[in-house]
Structure 1
Amino acid sequence: MPVYQGSCHCGNVRFSFHAPEIVEGVRCNCSICEKKGAMMGNFVVDPSDIDIQVSDDFLATYEFATHIAKHHFCKQCGIYTFHQALRKPGHYRVHLGCVDGVDVLALPYELIDGASL
């Protein structure tokens, strides 16, 4: 599997991960995903397949409702980078807009009905 690199806008949160080739994405219609408008990977990343590097203490986490999904973002620039998935707790979905070399505007995507969960 390829290794991808990514970061928030200011670079204080960096990450690399192993995943299948990125050829499509996923969007979700739950309340938080609808507001942030992010394109996520259509795969989940095992915790052993992601390396997260944070400068100082710039990684913040937002939880709501069930507190199972953990949405991570940079405290400095505010960019959502990845989250721990509701459907597969402890595993990650990556915001493809933060992944180097991925053109999210050109990717086809599937819509997940997270609003009904």
Structure 2
Amino acid sequence: MTKVHNRALTVESGEDLLSIHEWNTQRAKHFLCSRCGIYTFRRMRRAGSFAVNEFCL
């Protein structure tokens, strides 16, 4: 996982194929491919950044 600033991440296509999972406080959001299940990226609990799975790039 690589940390990137909110403004540095743009989903250009396939957003409708993402599943969102939230736990506990629901502040962190985990995005997975609804077809294959790969963990693509997550919105960190602290506002301002995402963690991106480098192997999806």
Instruction: With the length of structure 1 as denominator, give the TM-score of the two structures.
Output: 0.43
Q: Residue 48 of structure 1: SS of its match in structure 2?
A: helix
Match of 1:58 among 5, 11, 17: 17
Backbone CA RMSD of aligned residues? 1.7
* Pair 91,56 (structure 1): closer, same or farther in 2 beyond 3 Å: closer
Structure 2 unaligned blocks of 5 or more: none
* Larger Rg belongs to: 1
Q: Residue 27 of structure 2: SS of its match in structure 1?
A: coil
Q: Shift of residue 81 of structure 1?
A: 0.5
Superposed structure 1 runs of 4+ greater than 4 Å apart = none
Instruction: Among all aligned residue pairs of Structure 1 and Structure 2, give the percentage whose two residues are the same amino acid.
Output: 33
Structure 1 unaligned blocks of 5 or more: 1-39, 100-117
> For 2:14 and 2:54, how far apart are their aligned partners in 1?
21
The aligned length equals 57
Tell me the amino acid that sits aligned with residue 78 of structure 1: G
> For 2:23 and 2:48, how far apart are their aligned partners in 1?
16
Partner of 1:13: none
Instruction: With the length of structure 2 as denominator, give the TM-score of the two structures.
Output: 0.79
